[in-house]
Amino acid sequence: MNLVRDLHPLQNLFCNTRNATLVSCSRFAHRACRQSHSLAPQLGRNYQSLVAGAGAVRDATYIPRKEGVSDGAWKQADAEAVEEALQDGARIVKDGGLASKGAEVLLGKSLEELKEFAESRGQPKFRGQQLQDGLVKNLIRDIGEFSNLPKAWRQELLDSGVKTGRSELFGKSESPDGTVKLLLKLHDGRVVEAVGIPPEKDAKGPQRLTACISSQVGCPMRCTFCATGKGGFARNLMPHEIIDQVLHIQEYFGKRVSNIVFMGMGEPMLNLPSVMSAHGFINKTLGIGARHITISTVGVPNTMRKLADYDTQATLAISLHAPTQSLRETLVPSARAYPLEAIMHDAEAYFQATSRRVSFEYTLIDGVNATTEQAKQLAALIRARDMAAHVNLIPWNPVDESDFKRPSRNAVFRFKNTLEACNISASIRITRGLDAAAACGQLRNIYQKNPLIEGLESHAAAA
């Protein structure tokens, strides 16, 4: 990341020079620094030829951090990035998402809204049902594919810029255990990932299919163990962009998703209005029970109370990763702005308000937070609060550019047993799709390392 950071002024120069190429130039610099540091001085000379051949530069997966944001302690620039994300999140649903930009989106509308939409365009109400069936049952991606609608109306919808709201499948990574990560390209060329986790082959009981979905493009929280946190934040996802991920997973597996976890790219609590709007649709229209939906957070002040106000049956999962404030600050820099004591206080208040058991996520990292003593500290932290809680232990998943190590199997079980001996319910989450780069944001990283810039080498050679 240091080389990337070194090149940021260069990126900024390019981006200020030509805003329209912001995405491309960021990737350009990123690729260049990964290839060879000595290439950096050539970037200026190559830039014009690269822009001239703009067709050779496709799509963005690398998101630069906001100016002033860097590794290390939480700073004012971080707080500003988080505030921007919060404000952006509040604006999306209020302004109507893409509709505010003149493009009406069908996905995410309730049946009633689709009926009203049809009527407002001079069509009978039942067209609303046809639209919903096409979107949700037949997984139609383009207006032109609605063969159950009159051709003239389809054309009218197309002419007036109405969109289904479906994204384009941009890439995928499959693991032998059946886990699949889909890379989805959004309307503005941004890319997010969604993960489908089928049951293990020998699993007994009902056939579950879990979708791990993203809530933001990038993330401003900078958790040190997270691939997404190594980049910056671009924007929040709109409700239909969240729902779309679930449909892609259903389409890929040819079966209904049974469980949803908001553990993909992004901090869902920064985008709560869109997340909860999508949650409502997923629950009511896709028929996935709220109790099968988990919203995961590293902690954003004042948002647990807001989540409680939504009166959802969804599970709140708080990523703790450390039993003490000082250690947590080293793993989750944003902890400085939201101390552990305050998080535990708010978690207790959430339980008191909702009677919903709170889950705590704890990534076990060898030599950092996985000792028996730390298990006892974690147990004491939870037991000090009047709430029902459960701890999910997640043995560390390797991420590039990180020195963290996965603890031994014995150490993982020792930690769990210690918690249970202290009357804290705990389970070990089996890491699925490890070889398909299953940790948060890692599929994006694979593409980041192989960005779709064609011809860069020849441009460099010609310089």
State the residues that interact with ligand SF4 by CB under 6 A. 219, 221-223, 226, 228-229, 265-267, 298, 440
Q: How far is the CB of 317 from ligand SF4 (least distance, A)?
A: 11
- Give Cα separations from 190 to 7, 104, 176, 440, 444 (angstroms): 21, 19, 28, 17, 11
Using a CB cutoff of 8 Å and minimum separation of 24, what contacts does 198-206 make?
Answer: 198/253, 200/430, 200/432, 206/258
Q: Is the dihedral of CA 287, 290, 292, 295 positive or negative?
A: positive
User: Which residue number is nearest to ligand SF4 in terms of Cβ?
Assistant: 229
Among 15, 25, 212, 440, the active-site one is 440
Q: Measured from the CB atom, is 266 or 323 closer to ligand SF4?
A: 266
| Tokens read off for 273 | 């209005």
Q: Tell me the CA end-to-end span of the chain in Å, nearest whole number.
A: 26
Q: Measured from the CB atom, is 69 or 135 closer to ligand SF4?
A: 69
Only one residue has tokens 């996520």, namely: 361
Q: Measured from the CB atom, is 303 or 418 closer to ligand SF4?
A: 303
Contact 335, 321 (CB under 8 A): no
Q: How far is the CB of 137 from ligand SF4 (least distance, A)?
A: 32
Q: Measured from the CB atom, is 24 or 215 closer to ligand SF4?
A: 215
| Tokens read off for 130 | 């046809």
Q: How far is the CB of 111 from ligand SF4 (least distance, A)?
A: 33
Contact 299, 334 (CB under 8 A): yes
Q: Measured from the CB atom, is 198 or 441 closer to ligand SF4?
A: 441
Q: How far is the CB of 224 from ligand SF4 (least distance, A)?
A: 9
Q: How far is the CB of 178 from ligand SF4 (least distance, A)?
A: 24
Radius of gyration of the CA atoms of the chain, in A: 23
Q: Measured from the CB atom, is 97 or 229 closer to ligand SF4?
A: 229
Q: How far is the CB of 91 from ligand SF4 (least distance, A)?
A: 20
Contact 462, 49 (CB under 8 A): yes
Phi, psi of 263 (to 5 degrees): -130, 15
Q: How far is the CB of 297 from ligand SF4 (least distance, A)?
A: 7
Distance from chain centroid for Cα 25: 23
Q: Measured from the CB atom, is 239 or 266 closer to ligand SF4?
A: 266
| Tokens read off for 205 | 């009981």
Output b/e per residue, 319-354; b: 16+ Cβ within 10 A: bbbbbeeebbbebbbbbeebebeebbebbbebbeeb
Contact 258, 212 (CB under 8 A): no
Residue 440 catalytic?
yes
Among 25, 33, 193, 348, the active-site one is 193
Residue 116 catalytic?
no
What's the farthest any 2 CA atoms get from each other in the chain?
A: 70
Q: Any idea which residues carry the catalytic annotation? A: 193, 440
